[in-house]
């Protein structure tokens, strides 16, 4: 029989489509045609597959070879089909039993000597294969850790084409040691104890971690804005397994799993440079659509340093994902949705020279320059930021003090406790964080105590806050209440929330 | 042993294919039919009344790849044009015909192996 087929997966964003790889070897002039909308990297598979086959001592069929990747309408890209094409071709050439490979997914790029190289998007591919009812997958050894996350599938990591052929023909495998799935949940490199002083910024970071409130840190250079922002993931609770798998899937597609372990339960932190483009921020690309920084920060922190320096439109492109928690990218090849539920942390200098703190004595900027600088953070954007904190320069008392501040571990324990209280309260409601309470619920079930409400209504009358601002303050107040283990937000909680939202003085 | 020229290699290969075809009950109509556009090595008439236009590729080793890989798409289109030209000049336009290719591998001991592919287009 000169016809064989097996399975592989084509990815469109996070959605995998199981692809039938069919090979037909017919009489005729020696030739090779690849059908099914391959891109350049996939078209080159012919030469990789051929060299790998010859260099493993197998026969290349000198006949007319037709490779079809179906569904044919789906554009396919990348090198991950190499292994599937190679195995199917050898099977069609009657060197591997056809029925042996029918229900296996093969993923991997071949090197010319037959080594199986790692590919992007292994986890989402396997999730799609699993949903399609496939239970066995051959993956590159380098991707084994990531693939192992799918515990309900038989994952067979392979290093070399020869090993795969041996296994398919005889059932023997060289190393059957199972990689144990061990989640990593601590990172000892960063700790909040490193931050000297800054009590209000520390508190703001803690509240942000509790309720998922977005935060803006304003302060002169060298005050510790970046230090604080980088340490926010260390006080966030460990991700749940489902969340961790989501994060790993996005990073797998973006090909950034070298920087982040696929089995990490730590909230990711992504800090794009302020020269970043809109496409890099939200995701895109004309040919292969890649997730942007805000999707890579899914379930974690998106930290933008020097936020006012960002090109106009870059920050504002985050408004929609901030609202919906997802990014939908429309391109000619289709509409893709990536998850983008992140905690936004912005850092900014108070003015172009950076010295406008206190009475601003050393500042050399004109009043107009100062106003214009922070004005670059647009109104609608600022409206979504609940916590706006001035980070003052560290004084000599803080620096001279010997004992360190609270460690991340201590703060994290409090954050976890507060989040548990919130999760209990919202258990039947379909959301879990204070920042996600819908406006209707705020007006009915989740009102702060009477005196606090009166205070807020007075502020509203004075036009010191807007209706949306009122809701935002109540949400933050709930986070303060959870931190202090109050049943409902007290006057003190509301006042604290109101102060934290503060105005940006410029 | 005297050195065999490429022309002689080709002739030996074609002779081998002629014998191979004759043994399969195929009538050889013409050999080395040549016009300005090119040459058809063998024209044969099969038992079913189908004309076969055969391109023979002879090699003394497979060191330079499979002999039939030398037939690229341009070459096969030329074969097609030549076949139609032959049919036209012989008043057989409209007859069934096919383009075949034969790869002949000559061993140093004089034996040869034939890989015959029918209807390659």
pLDDT tens digits, one per residue of B65-106 = 788 888 888 888 899 999 999 999 998 888 899 999 999 998
The answer to whether B62 faces chain A, any CB pair under 8 Å, is no
Interface of A with B in 183-242 (CB under 8 A): none
Predicted pLDDT of residue A109: 96
What does the alpha-carbon distance between residue A366 and residue A350 come to, in Å, rounded to a whole number?
A: 12
Predicted pLDDT of residue B6: 82
Q: What share of chain B is helix, strand, coil (3-state, %, to 5)?
A: 30, 35, 35
E-assigned strand segments in A332-398: 334-339, 343-348, 387-390
If you compute the radius of gyration of chain B from its CA atoms, what whole number of angstroms results? 14
Sort A493 into a burial class: Cβ within 10 Å, 0-12 / 13-18 / 19+.
Answer: buried
pLDDT tens digits, one per residue of A356-398 = 877 777 888 888 888 888 888 888 888 888 899 988 887 777 7
E-assigned strand segments in A28-135: 31-35, 64-70, 104-106, 109-110, 116-117
More confident residue, A29 or A309: A309
Predicted pLDDT of residue A466: 84
Distance from the B69 Cα atom to the nearest Cα atom in chain A, whole angstroms: 6
Predicted pLDDT of residue A36: 93
Query: Where do the CATH 3.30.230.10 domains begin and end in chain A?
Result: 3-170
Evaluate whether residue B46 is within a structural domain: yes
Predicted pLDDT of residue B120: 83
Evaluate whether residue B96 is within a structural domain: yes
CB contact under 8 A, B68 and A27: no
Chain B residue with CA closest to A61: the answer is: B66
Predicted pLDDT of residue A43: 92
More confident residue, A223 or A338: A338
Helices A491-501/A450-461 angle, 10° precision: 30
pLDDT tens digits, one per residue of A102-133 = 999 999 999 999 999 999 999 999 999 999 99
User: Tokens representing A439?
Assistant: 């406006």
Distance from the A62 Cα atom to the nearest Cα atom in chain B, whole angstroms: 7
Looking at domain A192-413, does it have CATH number 3.40.50.300?
Answer: yes
Domain that holds residue B19: 6-117
Architecture of domain A3-170: 2-Layer Sandwich (3.30)
What does the alpha-carbon distance between residue B18 and residue B14 come to, in Å, rounded to a whole number?
A: 6
pLDDT tens digits, one per residue of A484-504 = 999 999 999 999 999 888 765
CATH of region A437-506: 1.10.20
CB contact under 8 A, B69 and A27: no
pLDDT tens digits, one per residue of A230-245 = 999 999 999 999 999 9
The answer to whether B66 faces chain A, any CB pair under 8 Å, is yes
What does the alpha-carbon distance between residue A237 and residue A249 come to, in Å, rounded to a whole number?
A: 20
pLDDT higher than threshold 80 for residue A176: no
Predicted pLDDT of residue A50: 93
Predicted pLDDT of residue A506: 38
Nearest Cα to Cα of residue A283 among A237, A251, A242: A251
pLDDT higher than threshold 80 for residue A97: yes
Chain A residues within an 8 Å CB radius of B68? 29-30, 62
The answer to whether B120 faces chain A, any CB pair under 8 Å, is yes
CB contact under 8 A, A29 and B71: yes
Chain B residues within an 8 Å CB radius of A27? 117-120
Q: What are phi and psi of B76, to 5 degrees?
A: -70, -35
Chain A residues within an 8 Å CB radius of B76? 29
Do A349 and A221 touch, CB atoms closer than 8 A?
yes
Do A52 and A114 touch, CB atoms closer than 8 A?
yes
Mean pLDDT of chain B: 88
pLDDT higher than threshold 80 for residue A157: yes
Predicted pLDDT of residue A1: 55
Evaluate whether residue B93 is within a structural domain: yes
What is the interface size between A and B, counted as CB pairs within 8 Å?
Answer: 20
pLDDT higher than threshold 80 for residue A343: yes
CB contact under 8 A, B66 and A62: yes
Q: Using alpha carbons only, give the angle B23, B26, B29 rounded to the nearest 5 degrees.
A: 125
Evaluate whether residue B91 is within a structural domain: yes
Mean pLDDT of A35-64: 92
pLDDT tens digits, one per residue of A398-456 = 777 777 788 899 999 999 999 999 999 998 888 888 988 888 888 888 988 999 999 99
What does the alpha-carbon distance between residue A338 and residue A320 come to, in Å, rounded to a whole number?
A: 12
CATH number at residue B55: 3.40.1350.10
Question: What does A57-74 look like in DSSP terms, one character per residue?
Answer: TPPPP-SEEEEEEESTTS
Nearest Cα to Cα of residue A506 among A368, A382, A386, A392: A368
Measured in residues, chain A has a length of 506
pLDDT higher than threshold 80 for residue A286: no
Query: Where do the CATH 1.10.20 domains begin and end in chain A?
Result: 437-506
Mean pLDDT of chain A: 89
The answer to whether A33 faces chain B, any CB pair under 8 Å, is no
Evaluate whether residue B1 is within a structural domain: no
Of the residues B66, B77, B114, the best mutation for testing chain A's interface (the one with the most A CB atoms within 10 Å of its CB) is B66
How many structural domains does chain B have? Answer: 1
Chain B residue with CA closest to A28: the answer is: B120
E-assigned strand segments in B1-121: 27-35, 38-45, 51-59, 97-106, 112-117
The answer to whether A366 faces chain B, any CB pair under 8 Å, is no
The answer to whether A29 faces chain B, any CB pair under 8 Å, is yes
Chain A residues within an 8 Å CB radius of B66? 30, 62
């Amino acid at each position: 029989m000169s016809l064989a087929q097996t399975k592989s997966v084509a990815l469109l964003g996070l959605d995998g489509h199981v692809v039938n790889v069919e090979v037909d070897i017919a009489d005729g002039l020696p030739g090779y045609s690849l059908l099914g909308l391959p891109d350049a990297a996939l078209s080159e598979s012919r030469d990789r597959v051929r060299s790998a086959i010859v260099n493993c001592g197998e026969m290349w069929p000198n006949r007319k070879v037709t490779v079809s990747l179906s569904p044919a309408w789906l554009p396919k890209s990348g090198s991950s089909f190499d292994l599937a094409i190679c195995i199917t071709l050898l099977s069609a050439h009657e060197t591997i039993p056809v029925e042996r490979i029918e229900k296996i997914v093969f993923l991997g790029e071949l090197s010319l000597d037959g080594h199986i190289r790692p590919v992007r998007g292994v986890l989402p591919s396997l999730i799609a294969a699993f949903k399609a009812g496939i239970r066995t997958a051959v993956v590159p050894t380098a991707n084994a850790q990531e693939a192992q996350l799918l515990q309900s599938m038989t994952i067979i990591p392979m290093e070399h084409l020869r090993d795969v052929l041996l296994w398919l023909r005889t059932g023997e495998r060289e190393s059957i040691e199972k990689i144990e799935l061990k989640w990593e949940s601590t990172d000892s490199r960063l700790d909040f104890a490193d931050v000297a002083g800054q009590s209000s910024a520390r508190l703001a970071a803690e509240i942000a971690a509790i309720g998922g409130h977005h935060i803006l840190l304003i302060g002169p250079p060298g005050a510790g804005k970046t230090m604080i922002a980088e340490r926010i993931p260390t006080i966030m609770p460990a991700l749940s397994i489902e969340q961790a798998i989501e994060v790993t899937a996005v990073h797998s597609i973006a090909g950034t799993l070298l920087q982040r372990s696929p089995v990490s339960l730590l909230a990711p932190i992504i800090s794009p440079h302020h020269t970043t483009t809109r496409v890099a921020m939200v995701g895109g690309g004309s040919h292969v659509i890649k997730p942007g920084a805000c999707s890579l920060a899914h379930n974690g922190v998106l930290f933008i340093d020097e936020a006012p320096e960002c090109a106009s439109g870059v920050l504002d492109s985050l408004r929609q994902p901030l609202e919906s928690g997802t990014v939908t990218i429309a391109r000619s090849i289709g509409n893709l949705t990536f998850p983008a539920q992140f905690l936004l942390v912005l850092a900014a200098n108070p003015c172009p020279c950076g010295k406008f703190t206190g009475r601003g004595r050393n500042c050399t900027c004109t009043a107009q320059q100062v106003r214009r600088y922070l004005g670059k953070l647009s109104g609608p954007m600022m409206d979504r930021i609940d916590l706006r904190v001035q980070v003052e320069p560290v004084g000599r008392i803080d620096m001279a003090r010997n004992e360190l501040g609270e460690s991340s571990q201590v703060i994290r324990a409090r954050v976890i406790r507060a989040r548990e209280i919130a999760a209990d309260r919202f258990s039947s409601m379909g959301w879990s964080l204070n920042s996600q309470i819908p406006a209707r619920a705020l007006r009915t079930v989740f009102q702060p105590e009477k005196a606090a409400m009166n205070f807020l209504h007075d502020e509203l009358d004075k036009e010191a806050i807007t209706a949306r601002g009122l809701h935002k303050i109540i949400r933050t107040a709930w986070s303060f209440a959870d931190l202090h283990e109050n049943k409902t937000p007290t006057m003190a909680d509301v006042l604290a929330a109101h102060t934290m939202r503060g105005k940006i003085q410029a | 042993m005297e050195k065999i020229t490429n022309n002689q290699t080709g002739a030996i290969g074609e002779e081998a294919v002629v014998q191979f075809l004759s043994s399969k009950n195929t009538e050889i109509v013409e050999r080395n039919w040549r016009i300005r556009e090119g040459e058809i090595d063998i024209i044969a008439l099969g038992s079913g009344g189908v004309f076969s236009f055969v391109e023979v590729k002879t090699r003394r080793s497979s060191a330079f790849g499979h002999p039939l890989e030398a037939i690229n798409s341009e070459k096969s289109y030329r074969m097609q044009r030549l076949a139609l030209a032959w049919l036209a000049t012989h008043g057989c336009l409209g007859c069934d015909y096919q383009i075949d290719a034969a790869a002949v591998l000559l061993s140093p001991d004089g034996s040869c192996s034939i890989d015959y592919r029918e209807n390659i287009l």
